[in-house]
Amino acid sequence: MKIKTKFLSLEFCFLYLNFLMEGENMTQLLRAFGGFIPFFLLVSFIVLTVFIAIKLLRNKKSNKKFSFRELVVDCGIIISLIAVFFVTNFSTLLPGIVVFDRQYNFVPFIDIYIMLKNSVSLDLVFRNILLNICLFVPFGFLITFKIQNKLLKVTLLGFLLSFLMEFLQYVVPRGRIADINDIITNSLGVIIGYLLAKLYQKISAL
């Protein structure tokens, strides 16, 4: 059953990455965020190095048993947080990106309706929604291992994280739109991540 669990986990990861790596999706991601990938990797490396060093020192002082699984989960959460911050706020800092005035939308789904009304491709609308959901799935999945059996807390954390990102987009106008729909889809991504984590835990326990 352990082997089956590993295969299911790998299959989910493959499907998740396959969606992100799909031709048009990858082109869209690279066009918007490819320029800051080296900076993202550098920041992630520095933050993780400092975090791991502090964690190892604290474990040594408290004689706490080292848990590789706990370390992997913690590092995964940190990487997912950095990724969310970069994707939602840094793409408009790249050369060639036009900076607009402060923009916002507080009416749920109104922008989707306008896009469809203006004959924007349904595939484009669907893809944008899925990308917003997928962005928060890793955070929801990993944070579940830190907050056991607490869907409400996990969802609330995801909602607050998404709200913070949208608030930053509103406070620092750099061409991004502070959008209530992003909060909705991001929160949905967290819930999906939670459900996947619970499914993984149930299969692992068999």
pLDDT of residue 91: 59
Higher pLDDT, residue 90 or 65? 65
Least confident of 35-49, 50-64, 69-83, 97-111: 97-111
Contact (CB, 8 A) for 143 and 198: no
pLDDT in the model for residue 10: 46
pLDDT digits (tens, 9 = 90+) for 69-106: 899 999 999 999 999 998 887 755 444 444 556 677 78
CA–CA separation, 39 vs 190, rounded Å?
A: 25
What does pLDDT average to over the chain? Answer: 79
Using only the alpha carbons of the chain, give its radius of gyration: 19
Q: What is the per-residue pLDDT for 189? A: 95
Question: Taking residues 17-37, what's their average pLDDT?
Answer: 56
Strand locations in 106-196 (E): 177-179
Average pLDDT over residues 155-184: 87
Q: What's the pLDDT score for residue 175?
A: 62
Distance CA 175, CA 157 (A): 26
- Round to whole Å and give the CA distance between 60 and 197: 30
- Cα separation, 142 vs 74, in Å, equals 8
Percent of the chain with pLDDT over 70: 72
Dihedral over alpha carbons 127, 132, 134, 135 (to 10 degrees): 140
Burial class (CB within 10 angstroms; exposed 0-12, middle 13-18, buried 19+) of 162: buried
Q: The tokens 């923009």 sit on which residue?
A: 103
Between CA 151 and CA 93 the distance in angstroms is 35
List the beta bridge partners of residue 103.
Answer: 177
Query: By C-alpha distance, which of 11, 142, 17 is closest to 76?
Result: 142
Residues 134 and 20 sit within 8 Å (Cβ to Cβ):
yes
Q: Give 136's contacts (C-beta < 8 A, 6+ positions apart).
A: 84, 158, 161, 162, 186, 187, 188, 189, 190, 193
The pLDDT, as a whole number, for residue 24 is 54
Residue 153 DSSP SS3? helix
